[in-house]
Amino acid sequence: MTQTVLVTGAAAGLGNVIARHLLGQGFQVVLSDVDAGRARQAAEQLDNGEGRVLATGLDIRQPEDFTRVLAETVARFGRLEVLVNNAALTLATPVMDIDPQEFDRVITTNLRGTFVGCQTVGRYFAQQGYGRIINLASLAGQNGGTASGAHYAASKGGSSP
Ligand SMILES: NC(=O)c1ccc[n+]([C@@H]2O[C@H](COP(=O)([O-])OP(=O)(O)OC[C@H]3O[C@@H](n4cnc5c(N)ncnc54)[C@H](O)[C@@H]3O)[C@@H](O)[C@H]2O)c1
Q: Which residues contact 70 (CB under 8 A, 6 or more apart)?
A: 80, 120, 121, 124
- 15 pocket-lining for ligand 1 (C-beta < 6 Å): yes
Q: Which residues contact 33 (CB under 8 A, 6 or more apart)?
A: 8, 9, 10, 11, 12, 15, 39, 42, 57, 58, 87
Ramachandran angles phi, psi of 84, nearest 5°:
-110, 105
Report whether residue 35 contacts ligand 1, using a CB cutoff of 6 Å: yes
Residue closest to 21 by CA, chosen among 138, 119, 137, 134: 134
Q: How far is the CA of 130 from the centre of ligand 1 (A)?
A: 26
**Is a pLDDT exceeding 70 seen at residue 37?**
yes
Parallel, antiparallel, or unpaired for β 53-57 and 82-85?
A: unpaired
Give the C-alpha distances (Å, rounded to integers) separating 67 from 27, 54, 60, 117: 21, 15, 11, 9
Active site residue 152: yes
Of the candidates 117, 149, 152, 159, the residue annotated as catalytic is 152
- Per residue in 62-111, pLDDT (tens digit) is 999 999 999 999 999 999 999 999 999 999 999 999 999 999 999 999 99
Task: List pLDDT tens digits, range 49-76.
Answer: 889 999 999 999 999 999 999 999 999 9
Q: How many CB atoms lie within 10 A of CB 24?
A: 11
Distance between Cα 109 and ligand 1 center (Å): 10
> From CA 105, how far away is CA 92, in angstroms rounded?
13
Residue with CA at minimum distance from ligand 1 atom 11: 86
37 CB less than 6 Å from ligand 1? no
- pLDDT single digits (tens) 122-159: 999 999 999 999 999 999 998 887 889 999 999 999 98
- Site to substitute for ligand 1 among 33, 105, 111, 121, most atoms within 8 A of C-beta: 33
160 — pLDDT class (breaks 50, 70, 90): confident
Q: Using the 8-state DSSP alphabet, how is residue 161 labeled?
A: -
How close is the Cα of 14 to the center of ligand 1, in Å?
Answer: 7
Domains of the chain: 4-159 (3.40.50.720)
Chain CA centroid to CA 133, Å:
10
Kindly give the interhelix angle for 100-107 and 150-159, rounded to the nearest 10 degrees.
Answer: 30
With a threshold of 0.95, does the pTM exceed it? yes
Query: How far does the centroid of ligand 1 lie from the alpha carbon of residue 54, in Å?
Result: 19
pLDDT range class, residue 116, cuts 50, 70, 90: very high
Phi-psi region of 9 (alpha: psi -120 to 50; beta: other; left: phi over 0): left
Average pLDDT estimate for 2-21: 98
Residue 73 CB neighbours (<10 A): 22
Position 161 scores a pLDDT of 65
